Structures are given as C-alpha cells and as structure tokens.
Amino acid sequence: MTNRFRVLPLRSRLALLVATAVTVAVAAVSTVCWFVVHDKLYDAVDDKLLTRSETLDLRAVSVAATLRSCPQTAAPPDQFAPPRDYYFQLVRAGEERPCVFPADSVGTVHVEESDRQVARRADPEVLNYRDGTDTDGEPVRVLTVAASVDAGNAVVRDTALMIGVPLGDTERTLNDLALLLLAVSGIGVVGAGAAGLAVARTGLRPVDRLTGAVEHVARTEDLSVRIPVDGEDEIARLSRSFNAMTAALASSRDLQKQLIADAGHELRTPLTSLRTNIELLARSEETGRAIPADDRRALLDSVKAQMTELAALIGDLQELSRPDVGASGRVQVVALHEIARTALDRARLRGPELTFTAALEPWYVRADHAALERALVNILDNAVKFSPPGGEVEVGLRAGELSVRDHGPGIPPEELPHVFERFWRSPSARSLPGSGLGLSIVARTVREAGGEAVLMPAEGGGTRVVVRLPGAATPPPSIPDGAPCP
C-alpha cells in the first residue's frame, strides 16, 4: 500500500491526504455529535421516568389488592393510572412474574435480575436505569426503584416499582440523525477531495514552473532562465535559491570559458616561441648548416626558459583548478612565521643580489600548509622581480599581519583594482616572465584561510603587500602544531 501511494503523483497524494484527514475529522465529529445527542435524549427520558415515579401514590389500597391477586392484573383508580405510553408494573424479589398496572397497559416489560436486586435492597434512594424490551420485543427504557407498599394493616416490602417508556421515537430520532450525519460526512469527504485537488493544483503551480525551468535547463543548458518570485513563502525561497543557483552556474561557466581563453592566450606565446626555436635547431640539422655556438647556446637557453615558463603556468592553472581547502580536508594548524622563513629562503636563492630583512613574530593559523607557502612564495617572487639590483625587500609579521615591501617602480593607482584578477599583468611588466596568476592564487588562498590580502603603494616608492590572517600567537593547547584541523 505504501509503495502504491508513493507511485502516485504528488498532486494526487496531497488530495488523498487532505480527503483522508477530512474524513477522519468528520467521522470523529459525527460520532461525538451522535453520542452527545444520544446521551441528551436518554437523559430526557430518564428525567421523565423519575418525575413520573415521584407522582405515583403507592399507598392506594388497590395496590395491596393487586399484589394479593398477582399474577392476575387489576385496574387501579384513575389517580394511579399512568398515560397509555407508559409501562407500569410491580415486581417482588421472590416472584418471576410482575404485577402490571393498569389492565390495558401498553404491555409488560421483561424483568431482569437487577430489578429483583433493587427489590431485595429495599432502598428508595437506589435508582436503576436500564434498557430493556417488552413482551413484543420493542425497546423500552426502564426505571426500577424500591417501594414499600402500605397495604392497610401491613407494609409489603421486597417490592420494586418498574416504570418504562417506549424508545421507538428516540431510536428513530437517533437513526435519522445517524443517516443525516452519514450523508453530511459523505458530502464533506467528496468536497474535501475536490478541494484538496484544487488546493494541490494551486499550491503546486509554482513547483510546476520550477520543474519546467529545471527541465528546460537540463535540455538546453540555458542558464539564463529565471523564475518569477512572488511572496515570502517556501516556494518563493525555493525559486530564489534556484535563480541564485543558475546565476552562480552561469557565472562559473563564464569564468571557466574566460579561464580557458586566457590560458590558451598565455600558452600560445611560449609555445610559439618554443616552436620557432626548435624549428631553427631542426632546420640547422637538416640542412647541415651549423648555428654559431653562441647563437645555439642562446637558443637552448631560450628553450629551457620557455619550458620553465610553461611548467610554471601549468602549475598555476592546476593550483587554481583544485577544490576548496575545506572540501579537500587539508586544513591544519600551521605556523605562519615558519612558512614565511621557508619562503624567504627560496626568495634569497632567486635574488642573491638583493638584501632581505625579516622581523617575524610567532603566529599560528588554520590553513592548507602547501597552498599558504605557495602564496607567500608568489608574493616574494613579485618583490624579487620588481626590485632593482641591490635593492632591499622588507618582510614583517606581527599580530597576524604579514607585510612584504619592495623598493621597485610600484604600481600606478589606476591598476591597483586589477592586480588580483586572473591573467592580468601590468603593461610595464608584460615583458617580464610570469603568467599573471600569482596574485590570483594569493587572493584565493588567503580568502580560504579567512583572511584578506591588500596591495598598496609604499611610502617612499615601491609596493607593499599586506596579508591579514586570523589566528593566535600560540598554538591551541588541544591541537599540536601541524596537526589536522578537526
């Protein structure tokens, strides 16, 4: 049954659930209503019986005569005669058959053991209400109460008075009410099903639009589709999320295309130069015309430099294409000052003619060790590249702020907003080696570590790069230095 329910469309399931809920609610209300009316009607009948029992005079002499003549019946005086719609009889504890009043009474009610028990107890405060039947099988509501009959010279005890009222009208009223409630319930269930289907169609219309948009995107890969958003409900939130998702995917695809185009452009230049140099060397071998030794050495050095540039460019592209640090699970508690010292050692090898001054205070951060080291090496490589011969590179780390300052030509203010863009290179630096991806890698690595990177002109000339990373001067006591981040 559950599997069949799940196979149904969502619209049908919602309509079925609404109809089921309304059915249960209507059935519960109808049942409660029927029982309330039943109790009220029976309370009215019981009050009627009690009132009638209180108006009878059991001291009439004819009652004693009737008891003496039982099991025959006798007609009492008019003052004792009940209306024709009542059953009236006396029952004694030791006798099977009751004494009936009047002679032309509606009928005789079957005596039960509970009636005889009332007679034995002889307690007039005890009222026994019950449902019974008469000799014709008709339903009767019966009240049995103990009665001490004054028969002149003696008081007759162990006697109970039974008064009954036919329940035919009451049962017919309850049956009519049950049929009415059943009809109303049926109409309510049908109406609830129709209303549930209408509500499901109306409520799922935005979902239908969203489904259509998703199918359109899957079929055409058109990420420009947007769903109109109206309101602040869950459907509106879902629509906003879908619009944000398609916008992010479109932006990602545009960036991917731009990255491929820029990478192709950057790769074309060294590849063209490399191809030209190799063709010159190959032609020299084919024609037998030897290239002068100095020119041959220059060509080989150029080939080696271009291959190194290609390898660096490919490495930068791989770095940009790797997953986020959080997704790869490579976050660790690392010592930023130690990473800076390692990057400085590599920078000194690339700029042996430069002077490096460093003032590094301990600082521990959560980051990817390899990525952070590569970012610092990129910053120092730029400082080495743009520093004049014999220049100075100043490196400082204090309270989580790493500063690298060179004394080169600096960057014009109008170019500062573009320095962290992929493949962007200053016009004055396009003749220098590099891919234009170094600072992009820096910005991404620092952002993933929760910090920020800023590049600004330095006082007195040159450029100053500031990297701010959250952390602490001492490693967390529960996490050793270099341990994986939990």
In this predicted structure, the answer to whether residue 336 has a pLDDT above a threshold of 80 is: yes
Ramachandran quadrant class, 355 (left: phi over 0; alpha: psi -120 to 50; beta: rest): beta
In this predicted structure, the answer to whether residue 422 has a pLDDT above a threshold of 70 is: no
In this predicted structure, the answer to whether residue 396 has a pLDDT above a threshold of 90 is: yes
Res 163: pLDDT? 86
In this predicted structure, the answer to whether residue 471 has a pLDDT above a threshold of 60 is: yes
Pair of tokens at residue 456: 């600004």
Among 41-50, 256-265, 397-406, which is the least confidently predicted range? 256-265
Q: Stretch 137-146: mean pLDDT, rounded? A: 88
Q: Which of 281-285, 327-331, 380-384, 412-416 is most confident? A: 380-384
If we measure between CA atoms, which residue out of 381, 361, 365 comes closest to residue 435? 381
Res 71: pLDDT? 46
If we measure between CA atoms, which residue out of 446, 433, 439 comes closest to residue 311? 433
pLDDT band at residue 284 using 50, 70 and 90 as cut-offs: confident
SS3 291: coil
Residue ranges of E strands in 319-451: 332-335, 355-360, 364-367, 392-398, 401-405
The residue assigned the tokens 């030791």 is: 94
Q: Which of 62-71, 93-102, 136-145, 220-229 is most confident? A: 136-145
Res 405: pLDDT? 92
Peptide bond into 102 cis (omega under 30): yes
In this predicted structure, the answer to whether residue 83 has a pLDDT above a threshold of 70 is: no
Domains of the chain: 2-38+173-212 (no CATH), 57-166 (3.30.450), 234-321 (1.10.287.130), 325-468 (3.30.565.10)
In this predicted structure, the answer to whether residue 101 has a pLDDT above a threshold of 80 is: no
Distance CA(345)–CA(341), nearest Å, equals 6
CB contact at 8 A, 382 and 409: no
In this predicted structure, the answer to whether residue 43 has a pLDDT above a threshold of 60 is: yes
Pair of tokens at residue 240: 């906003």
Res 80: pLDDT? 45
In this predicted structure, the answer to whether residue 62 has a pLDDT above a threshold of 50 is: no
pLDDT: is 29 or 281 the higher one?
A: 29
If we measure between CA atoms, which residue out of 311, 367, 317, 302 comes closest to residue 339? 367
pLDDT band at residue 323 using 50, 70 and 90 as cut-offs: low
Task: Provide the 10 A C-beta neighbour count for residue 348.
Answer: 15
- The CA R_g of the chain, rounded to the nearest whole Å, is 52
Q: Stretch 374-389: mean pLDDT, rounded? A: 86
Among 281-285, 324-328, 416-420, which is the least confidently predicted range? 324-328
In this predicted structure, the answer to whether residue 243 has a pLDDT above a threshold of 60 is: yes
User: 338-363, pLDDT tens digit by residue?
Assistant: 999 998 988 888 888 898 999 999 99
If we measure between CA atoms, which residue out of 245, 103, 108 comes closest to residue 166? 108
Among 225-229, 270-274, 308-312, which is the least confidently predicted range? 308-312
Sign of CA dihedral 403, 409, 411, 414: positive
Among 180-184, 232-236, 240-244, which is the least confidently predicted range? 232-236
Res 483: pLDDT? 47
In this predicted structure, the answer to whether residue 273 has a pLDDT above a threshold of 80 is: no
SS3 405: strand
User: 160-206, pLDDT tens digit by residue?
Assistant: 888 888 888 888 999 999 999 888 888 887 887 787 777 777 777 77
Q: Stretch 377-399: mean pLDDT, rounded? A: 88
In this predicted structure, the answer to whether residue 412 has a pLDDT above a threshold of 80 is: no
pLDDT band at residue 461 using 50, 70 and 90 as cut-offs: confident
Pair of tokens at residue 464: 């100053």
pLDDT: is 457 or 433 the higher one?
A: 457
pLDDT: is 359 or 421 the higher one?
A: 359
Among 25-39, 57-71, 233-247, 447-461, which is the least confidently predicted range? 57-71
SS3 110: coil
Average pLDDT, the chain: 76
In this predicted structure, the answer to whether residue 60 has a pLDDT above a threshold of 60 is: no
Distance CA(469)–CA(449), nearest Å, equals 7
